[in-house]
Amino acid sequence: MAIAQVEVGSITQDVTNMPAFPSQKACARSCFVNTGFCPNDILGSAISCAEHTDCNSMNWQAKNDCYCRQDLQKPAQDILSSCVSTKCNIGDVAIDAASAGSIYANYCSQKGYPYVPPATPNANRASTTGAGFATRTTGTLGLGPTGSSSSSSGSSSSSNKLSITTIIGIVIGSIVGLILLAFFIRYMIRWCTPTPKPPPLQPYNPPPVHPITQFPGPYHSPPSTIAHMPEVTPEDSRSMLSGTVEHNTVLSGFQPQRFQHQY
Predicted local distance difference test score (pLDDT) of residue 126: 45
Percent of the chain with pLDDT over 90: 33
User: Quick one: DSSP state of residue 120?
Assistant: P
Q: What is the pTM assigned to this prediction?
A: 0.44
Query: For the residues 242-247, what does the mean pLDDT come to?
Result: 51
Neighbours of 166 (CB within 10 A): 11
Question: Do the beta carbons of residue 58 and residue 50 sit within 8 Å?
Answer: no
- Nearest CA to 246 among 199, 73, 254? 254
Give the burial class of 251: count Cβ atoms within 10 A of its Cβ; 0-12 exposed, 13-18 middle, 19 or more buried. exposed
Region of residue 224 (phi > 0: left; psi between -120 and 50: alpha; otherwise: beta): beta
Q: What are 91-120's pLDDT values in tens digits?
A: 899 999 999 999 999 999 999 998 777 655
Phi, psi dihedral angles at 123 (to 5 degrees): -65, -45
